[in-house]
Structure 1
């Protein structure tokens, strides 16, 4: 069986059955030493209780770990005549007794170089030591098991070397086509994309020429590890030669933005300094991307087109990426540029807040103001939140940006109060990314403490869909905020998917009717029905209801007729600077 390369588990199983056929009342087993060199894994035990073998599978070797673990640790045979009495079995005695095993004779299985490969053991239901004939059989059987295990390890090593790069341990070009073919077949079946990313490290030859090939090898190994850390376990990172890598992004959604996010992660990982030979090297890369099915339907075509896109990236001056499909390049590059500029915007104090009043429809008084962020870009001018907020959400930058908005809004509201203006509530939007942060409540406490603003003059606006992502966590967070005295409102109400039974458990004070229902309120009967229903619902739940985006007399008339509490929109005032809003509040 060994000569014909039969599977190792079959060889060991047959070997144990052969041993057991020669002896009476003996049960043979083989445990294999794991790659970590610490744990023993199941190899073969045709006659031992499966539950027993399952219980000891993965047990660690050591100086007092039964017969097998101790034999592997000592690298010598361990004969235990009575399991119930021997101290080596102290931690496993009850387990063995459960199945009636009383003696166990274990011998380490060694390679021809003396490396421990596993353990061969014989169990008996009686208290005794092996006879001379049994000892000879153990020695012979252990030798045979060693040949089988060593042969299997050699085959595995040969197969690994044939399909993997010896320096980095990554799959090589021989394995690339197989992995890419599987990815394409999956994408065909489930209407998904496959992205082939071709990476060429810039100026790598200079490292070899100046610091030597050992430094170059260390650099490549570091980069290989970082690339693996950037992708999912189902993706494949391949070294195709010298300083070139290919990544196969498996099972991608049909959205170039998702692929772009992964590309940015890869670029950031490559750009991190690499300590090599007392130097800290900074790398860049030229990257080309081809997508299935648009850029090719076969592995060869996808690889060729990703390589061509990579060459174009080098032509553009290196340290950039190019999609094979040109139409993807402009949008993706614009997004990456935006991400980089967003990272610097906070440090450069480029953000500012405008404030839009919220007015009581009965008295006409300003009761609250909503803080609205704007980006004063040094080159582009005023950038709309619709442009940069989604990118901030995707990258996680919304957390520090949102924290700045919260602190600035609280500071400004307290400044108005110190100036002697009538107190109003300042409303701050909380994004889904912020809401999932475990320290949101601590951030709110910090903003109130630093500004000196009382909690009752702060309102946080959350959306229905945000709450319903994790209902229990959301309600717990809202309860914690309410416990501080902070008010909570549901923004864009009617566009989410919360149930009425959930709504009654929300610890909120206000509902904000989304602008989409207000725009055609004067003429659209459906919008009128929804708006009047929300107003009625809010009143029955003792919640104030505010209409967003109010701009016309007809809209105001309808809202007053249906007893809506408050409104916000250009009908009363556009968003204003802090100074102008302060003057408006002062007018009463």
Structure 2
């Protein structure tokens, strides 16, 4: 009986009650007595029949409220049987005594039809997405929960239309709606009659596959780059859009436990979908338990970041930067650390990647900017040296449209001199939204803020693009420095990077310098600055403040 849902149990109980009432109504109609006795109380038989007819009408309504499709069929069937029986009784007895019951049944039939019609229209409206004419998220939850409760096997595919937000931003919402509609039509071509599609969010669709042909094989025919011609708003021009899809698959089979819900299955599918973003083609990924562990770690890391921001677990350390020739202090790179209440230190490696996969990284960036500028503002007022405070900025922050206004607000609140601030970005920043990122960089330079390109030599941004950017500093990645003592080819690469930086009118700093031999080679190749353990490890603010007052550091 475990495969019977609670809704079906309610339908069975109401149906049995209906037949009991019908049997009692039929039995009372077969007796000729005009009255029946309950103790000293004499009640007309017609009153009893009216009560039973009223209860039957209520049962019909409860049936349709329980399940407007199945309940309607059961209620209508019972009503028709009762009506036919009353009509037969009237004909055989040549009496119209049962006429009130006939009227009641006819009214019940009209009521059932009215409620059914209302529910049909309401169901279409509440369960259907306006753009794709497929099911919406409410419909998805209903269908999946019914499959789980009934212990049915199924497969869920979660499909994302990539770059959808960019399309909406550039071409408008109507173009985005047209794309998602055409994409849904394309996916519909691979579905069987029993399969169902749902639009979960703006750019994401879910498909419920019933057992049958491999969903993975069917999806391969649609998960590929395609171009769609979209009519413009004015109707005079056409827009060619490239459509890229990715799909995360979850195979669900009985037995199910209490943790399986529509939301948990969708979350697993979304985890698999996220893994497809690293695939070159046929972006289909099947969920497995290892992914679930990764997803749980992601949520744990996000929770840690939220707690750290609220309860101030985060603090900053500063790694000094020096001129290569004479070891003069250039400034400090700001690094974030996390100390939990039990005094254990959480490495940035554990929470920064998770924060970068969510919007929490922007809150971390704001915290670092606010804290570093607040701490160093008094130091810079009394410092005769030209100290630079360098702060790493994530790709999401640099590509956000409101970043300049947020930074300007922090500068005004802290009264920090913008010419003493340097923001470090990576080449990956240009992959988020190149237009917005480049615009933000130019606005930052107009404010007087310096720009450093971090991890230079490991990215894929074109040299032509880099040449057009107002960058002050190039940072050579540590991975290029590690082998310069033993590898002539690596020394040549580093020499080329330094030369390229100078051609771009940038100063060059090498990070991760740990040995005197590495330092000598960088000095020989005219690298302007260095940072690393060879001359200075990350230190707390008090030590950094004291270092600012030093005049000599010795070589």
Shorter chain as normaliser: what TM range?
0.5 to 0.7
Could you tell me whether the CA contact under 8 Å between 1:550 and 1:570 is conserved in 2?
yes
* 1:543 match: 506
C-alpha distance in 2, partners of 1:523/1:401? 39
2:385 paired residue among 422, 430, 445: 422
Return the offset for 1:363: 2.1
* 2:409 match: 446
Could you tell me whether the CA contact under 8 Å between 2:425 and 2:451 is conserved in 1?
yes
Tell me whether 1:350 sits opposite 2:299 in the alignment.
Answer: no
Could you tell me whether the CA contact under 8 Å between 1:459 and 1:487 is conserved in 2?
yes
C-alpha distance in 2, partners of 1:181/1:370? 49
2:549 aligned counterpart, secondary structure? helix
C-alpha distance in 1, partners of 2:375/2:367? 12
| Residues 22-63 of structure 1: CA deviation (Å, up to 9, x unaligned) | xxxxxxxxxxxxxxxxxxxxxxxxxxxxxxxxxxxxxxxxxx
Return the offset for 1:432: 0.9
C-alpha distance in 2, partners of 1:342/1:396? 11
Matches of residues 99-114 of structure 1 in structure 2 within 5 Å? none
* 1:565 match: 528
Pair 1:173–1:540, CA change in 2 (3 A): closer
Matches of residues 209-288 of structure 1 in structure 2 within 5 Å? 233-236=204-207
Could you tell me whether the CA contact under 8 Å between 1:179 and 1:236 is conserved in 2?
no
Matches of residues 327-338 of structure 1 in structure 2 within 5 Å? 327-328=290-291, 330-338=293-301
| Residues 353-395 of structure 1: CA deviation (Å, up to 9, x unaligned) | 1000111012210112110011112247111111101111122
- TM-score norm. by structure 1 comes to 0.50
Pair 1:303–1:425, CA change in 2 (3 A): same
2:344 paired residue among 378, 381, 384: 381
Tell me whether 1:522 sits opposite 2:485 in the alignment.
Answer: yes
Q: Which moved more, 1:169-178 or 1:354-363?
A: 169-178
Could you tell me whether the CA contact under 8 Å between 1:228 and 1:237 is conserved in 2?
no
Pair 1:179–1:496, CA change in 2 (3 A): farther
C-alpha distance in 2, partners of 1:157/1:415? 68
User: When you count helix as a share of all residues, which structure comes out higher?
Assistant: 2
Pair 1:574–1:176, CA change in 2 (3 A): same
* 2:259 match: 310
**Structure 1, gaps ≥5 residues long:** 1-152, 188-226, 239-247, 253-290, 297-301, 313-319
| Residues 417-449 of structure 1: CA deviation (Å, up to 9, x unaligned) | 234463401001110111122111112212221
* 1:485 match: 448
Tell me whether 1:172 sits opposite 2:143 in the alignment.
Answer: yes
| Residues 279-316 of structure 1: CA deviation (Å, up to 9, x unaligned) | xxxxxxxxxxxx957xx5xxxxx2315x247279xxxx
Pair 1:458–1:229, CA change in 2 (3 A): same
Could you tell me whether the CA contact under 8 Å between 2:199 and 2:205 is conserved in 1?
no
Pair 1:330–1:175, CA change in 2 (3 A): closer
Q: Which moved more, 1:555-564 or 1:386-395?
A: 386-395
2:537 paired residue among 552, 560, 574: 574
Could you tell me whether the CA contact under 8 Å between 2:508 and 2:527 is conserved in 1?
yes
C-alpha distance in 2, partners of 1:159/1:413? 61
C-alpha distance in 1, partners of 2:545/2:450? 22
Q: RCO greater where, 1 or 2, for CA within 8 Å and sep 6 or more? A: 2
Could you tell me whether the CA contact under 8 Å between 1:359 and 1:368 is conserved in 2?
yes
Which 4+ runs in 1 deviate beyond 6 A?
156-161, 173-179, 320-324
C-alpha distance in 2, partners of 1:229/1:431? 29
| Residues 80-113 of structure 1: CA deviation (Å, up to 9, x unaligned) | xxxxxxxxxxxxxxxxxxxxxxxxxxxxxxxxxx
Return the offset for 1:236: 4.9
**Structure 2, gaps ≥5 residues long:** 1-116, 129-134, 161-197, 210-215, 221-247, 262-266, 272-286
Q: Number of paired residues? A: 331
Pair 1:450–1:423, CA change in 2 (3 A): farther
Could you tell me whether the CA contact under 8 Å between 1:310 and 1:321 is conserved in 2?
no
Return the offset for 1:176: 6.3
Return the offset for 1:563: 0.7
Could you tell me whether the CA contact under 8 Å between 1:393 and 1:433 is conserved in 2?
yes
Q: Which moved more, 1:172-181 or 1:460-469?
A: 172-181
1:235 aligned counterpart, secondary structure? strand
1:428 aligned counterpart, secondary structure? strand
* 1:411 match: 374
Tell me whether 1:531 sits opposite 2:502 in the alignment.
Answer: no
* 1:35 match: none
Return the offset for 1:251: 7.5
- TM-score norm. by structure 2 comes to 0.52
* 1:502 match: 465
Return the offset for 1:346: 1.1
| Residues 293-347 of structure 1: CA deviation (Å, up to 9, x unaligned) | 7xx5xxxxx2315x247279xxxxxxx9999965555443333222222112112
Matches of residues 451-470 of structure 1 in structure 2 within 5 Å? 451-470=414-433
Pair 1:540–1:376, CA change in 2 (3 A): same
Could you tell me whether the CA contact under 8 Å between 1:429 and 1:460 is conserved in 2?
yes
Pair 1:547–1:251, CA change in 2 (3 A): farther
User: When you count strand as a share of all residues, which structure comes out higher?
Assistant: 1
Pair 1:327–1:489, CA change in 2 (3 A): closer
